Amino acid sequence: MATIHFHGAAQQVTGSCHLLESSAIGTVLLDCGIEQGGSENEFYDKQFAFNPQSIDAVILSHAHLDHSGMLTKLVRQGFHGHIYCTHATKALLAVLLKDAVSIYLHDLERENIRRARAGDSPLPAVIDKPDVDKVLSLCQSYDYLERISIGKAGVLTFRDAGHILGSAIVELALTERGERKVLVFSGDLGNPDTVLMKPPVPLYHADLLLMEGTYGDRDHRDYGKTCDQFAAILERAKQQGGTVLIPSFAVGRTQELLFHLGCLYHEGKLNGWQVFLDSPMAIAVTEIYDRWASLLDKQAMHHLAKYRYESLEAFLPNLHLTPDAEQSMALNRIQGGAIIIAGSGMCTGGRIRQHFKHRLWRTDTTVIFVGFQARNSLGRLLVDGVKRIKLFGEQIAVKANIETLGGFSAHAGQTQLIEWQQHFKNNPRTVLVHGEAKALEALAEKLWQDHQVKVHIPQLGEQMSF
């Protein structure tokens, strides 16, 4: 009998981490992500509820930090097993983890200067750059649909989740005492309406289904209407003569935004705008997307061909890349007509916070949120209407126009989640993870009312056998 322990993303959206124990494969983690919502340094303060040296392997659904970000701390504390992932996920990990560690070390250095001035002892680093190299050396990457032997009697298969490049649904077959059981872990399921990614692959059999429910309580705004809303917001901002700030996740969301901005350019709707991609990580990730274009949706590629797409620079000629800190700081001198895309997506770190410091108090600034904002994150506070925030030790008034676009989400909405779950023919035991309690409860109620599917919503630290 296998046992699963829920050590993260249980009635919360971030921090995906589930520990699976089985005689077929040993002790394996499904994801090992950071719990977002605080500062970059606070991500790594969380202690593991298990001994990292006891973990035999990690199966990684995708590269987003709330699924992968604690891998550096895991290896720092003694993990040395295989990390199973797709090829594209490994390529993205090299960028995301290096960036996350660099931000952490920079913030730690600044904190230790502050502590030295106060006469306090410095804080030691809990992770460092060599830990990223160790993570990458442990990664074993595979194609979708490849059958991978794991442990003594396990077979792992990755299937396209349609969320970001390389994102995977994990299908894990375990044979214990002659009995075969199948666990399916959805990871993050993509929104079929998004442009660049393929729809999530349907599966038809599982004994235990771990399914995400980030948007379990609602559907997304119509995609076409969202595109129209985006264009209308930009037009209003243009009339104000101000600047648009878009906090964006470097992986997936940024590339979708650049696609839409390119389309708006070719439709003549970006006249007078200059677009700045102010994120070294997003720039590097966009290059990886170009290299792995074969995994993207064929319809999107056909759409790009209509505009004679040859390169991002040709597709969006008014795009400027600002990888250097000096180039980023120079953006503060721009008075208007700028669309600045910067990380991080939930405003918990990265350059977007510097732009907020210089522009959030201005009435001619427009901030557009295009992704989920976790509870307690700065992005969530702004979406919820906070009037004042504290940044870099200063009080900043929030006078900017705050806008939210729901249709660009990279997550499946409620209807799409239910449709994907209904592909399973044998009515598997279904467990909802990766969602706030309200969203998971709404999804559970809808599944029961409409399809008589009874689900379980685990608490953090809970364990169950199957």
Question: 203: how many CB neighbours lie within 10 A of its CB?
Answer: 20
**Would residue 251 be called left, alpha or beta, if left means φ above 0 and alpha means ψ between -120 and 50 degrees?**
beta
- Rounded Cα distance, 89 and 62, in Å: 6
**1: exposed, middle or buried (Cβ count in 10 Å: 0-12, 13-18, 19+):** exposed
| Residue ranges covered by each domain of the chain | 3-218+410-465, 223-404
Cα 51–chain centre separation: 26
- pLDDT in the model for residue 301: 62
- Residue 333 tokens read as 């001198």
Sign of CA dihedral 360, 361, 366, 372: positive
- pLDDT in the model for residue 85: 98
- Rounded Cα distance, 154 and 173, in Å: 6
Q: Which residues contact 425 (CB under 8 A, 6 or more apart)?
A: 204, 205
Kindly tell me the number of DSSP H helices and DSSP E strands found in the chain: 15, 22
Q: Which residues contact 453 (CB under 8 A, 6 or more apart)?
A: 421, 427, 430, 447
Rg (CA), the chain: 22
- pLDDT in the model for residue 295: 72
Cα→Cα distances 103→31, 67, 124, Å: 22, 18, 15
Per-residue pLDDT of the chain (466 residues; tens, 9 = 90+): 999 999 999 999 999 999 999 999 999 999 999 997 655 557 788 899 999 999 999 999 999 999 999 999 999 999 999 999 999 999 999 999 998 899 899 889 989 999 999 999 999 999 999 999 999 999 999 999 999 999 999 999 999 999 999 999 999 999 999 999 999 999 999 998 887 889 999 999 999 999 999 999 999 888 788 888 999 999 999 999 889 999 988 888 888 888 889 889 988 999 999 999 998 888 899 888 877 777 776 666 655 655 655 566 677 889 999 999 999 999 999 989 999 999 888 888 889 999 999 999 999 999 999 877 877 889 899 999 999 999 888 999 999 999 998 778 889 999 999 999 999 999 999 999 999 999 999 999 999 999 999 999 999 999 999 9
Are 350 and 343 in contact, with CB atoms under 8 Å apart? yes
- Residue 442 tokens read as 């709404």
Residue position matching structure tokens 């919820």: 384
- Rounded Cα distance, 420 and 432, in Å: 13
- pLDDT in the model for residue 260: 87
> ω into residue 344 within 30 of 0, thus cis?
yes
- The CATH fold assigned to 3-218+410-465 is Metallo-beta-lactamase; Chain A (3.60.15)
Instruction: Label residues 48-60 b or e (16+ Cβ within 10 Å = b).
Output: beeebeebbbbbb
Give the count of alpha carbons within 13 A of 165, CB side only: 28
- Rounded Cα distance, 309 and 307, in Å: 5
Question: What dotted CATH number matches 223-404?
Answer: 3.40.50.10890
